[in-house]
Amino acid sequence: MDNKNYGRLKVSSAPHMVSPTDTQRVMGMVLIALIPAFAVGIYQFGYRAVTVTAVCVASCVVFEYLLNKIMKKPQTIGDLSAVLTGVLLAFNMPSGLSYLICIVGALAAIVVVKGLFGGLGQNLTNPAVTARVFLFIAFATDMTTWPTARGQHLDAVTAATPLGELSHEGINAVTTSNLDLFLGNVNGCIGEISALALIIGGLFLIWKKVITWHIPVCFIATVFVLGLIWGGVTGCGALHGAIFQICAGGLMLGAFFCATDYVTSPTLPMGKIIFGIGCGLFTMLIRLFASYPEGVSFAILLMNILTPYIDKFCEGRMFKAPKAAKGGDENGK
């Protein structure tokens, strides 16, 4: 409708130039931002970090390719969103996971969560996060068997995560120092362990204007504030508790890379703030009161579902102010 040819000339509506940033570049930028976290994952968990990620990425891309073929839709694997889903899925898994489970996860993410809802842009929830939650429930044991990280200098093959220790035996059972948590000398999912690496990636995305600060800052700040209270109440020290809560588990990965997924998070700044605070609240509710040790994925999933309502609420607020003047557009030609 926007592009006609008259004789040899192309006639289309203005503008006649576009910014070089397309969807592929946006996704590529997020992938670049995940490199530091990947590097830490490889260092800590060895070759399995690479193979699990490779299997997840490859199966996501293949599923997307096949789904487009079957549904006779234009091919979309070039936009890199399937690659990103694969990476995020792998980063949310322990490195010792069987490859078959990885493929099941990719199937859930790409086909069920994204493809069947209409593909990129139409999915209600984040594919990687939803698939992870599904695997977490369906393959509970496999998904919570944590190979030890090289930086832990332990003889054991597997060990509990700090949040696991906290959930089952209380704060005094946590053996990992906050510094090790920050640097990533801890077991956990492939891509979530190093808060430092994830913060570097997240700041890169904010600097490149791929994401805005609202969601990660509000998410992390909410957890931090609740962590202060929790630290004070449990007696491990307010600040110590708060830093532990923001560095532990998948919080940084979730806050910078999963919660900021454009499609499944609110568009307007106010909505992003509500979304971030909501994610933080639910994360802490689950961590402290529910039977699961970690709540980031559940919190993001829940807020994903609330996103259309948050968007609607914010849109309504935004346009409550004076009505638009009827009449002309002064630049209309």
Partner 1 sequence: MGKHLNSVKVSHEKHTAACATEIMAIPETVCISMSQHIGAPCQPQVKKGDAVKVGQVIGDTDAFVSAPIHSSVSGTVKEISTVRSMMGGQDTVVVIETDGKQEVWEEVKPPVINDMKDFIAAIRASGLVGLGGASFPTHIKLNPKNLDEVETLIVNAAECEPFITSDHRLMLENTTEIVEGILAVMKYLNLKAAHIGVEENKPDAIEALNKKIAELGHSDDVKVNVLRARYPQGAERVMIYEILGKTLNAGQLPAELGVVLSNVTTIAFIGQYLKTGRPLTTKRITVDGNAVNRPTNIIVPIGARLSDVAAACGGYKAEPKKIIMGGPMMGRAVFSDEVPIVKNNNAILFFDGNQALIPEETACIKCGKCTRACPFNLLPVSIAAAYDRKDADKLDALKVMQCMECGSCSFICPARRPLSFINKMAKGYLKEATSK
Contact footprint for partner 1 (CB under 8 A): 2-3, 6-19, 21-23, 25-26, 76, 79, 81, 119-122, 262-263, 267-268, 315, 318-319, 323-333
Please state the closest distance from residue 322 (CB atom) to partner 1, in A.
8
Of 249, 221, 253, 21, residue with least CA distance to 126: 253
- For residues 152 and 203, what is the distance between their CA atoms, to the nearest angstrom? 27
Q: Which is nearer to partner 1, 93 or 120 (CB)?
A: 120
Asked if 282 and 325 count as a contact pair (C-beta separation under 8 A), the reply is no
Of 37, 328, 14, residue with least CA distance to 199: 37
Q: Which is nearer to partner 1, 55 or 61 (CB)?
A: 61
Please state the closest distance from residue 5 (CB atom) to partner 1, in A.
9
Please state the closest distance from residue 21 (CB atom) to partner 1, in A.
5
Please state the closest distance from residue 266 (CB atom) to partner 1, in A.
8
Of 267, 303, 277, 275, residue with least CA distance to 130: 303
Q: Which is nearer to partner 1, 67 or 251 (CB)?
A: 67
Q: Please name the helix (run of DSSP H) or strand (run of DSSP E) that holds residue 6, with its range, or none.
A: strand 3-6
Q: How many residues does the chain have?
A: 333
Q: Which is nearer to partner 1, 36 or 115 (CB)?
A: 115
DSSP codes of every residue in 205-233: HHHTTSS-SHHHHHHHHHHHHHHHHHHHH
Please state the closest distance from residue 118 (CB atom) to partner 1, in A.
8
Q: Which is nearer to partner 1, 81 or 187 (CB)?
A: 81
* Contacts of 29 by beta carbon, 8 Å cutoff, 6+ apart: 204, 205, 208, 210
Please state the closest distance from residue 254 (CB atom) to partner 1, in A.
19
Q: Which is nearer to partner 1, 7 or 47 (CB)?
A: 7
Please state the closest distance from residue 213 (CB atom) to partner 1, in A.
13
- For residues 161 and 85, what is the distance between their CA atoms, to the nearest angstrom? 24
Q: Which is nearer to partner 1, 12 or 172 (CB)?
A: 12
Of 126, 296, 164, 114, residue with least CA distance to 223: 296
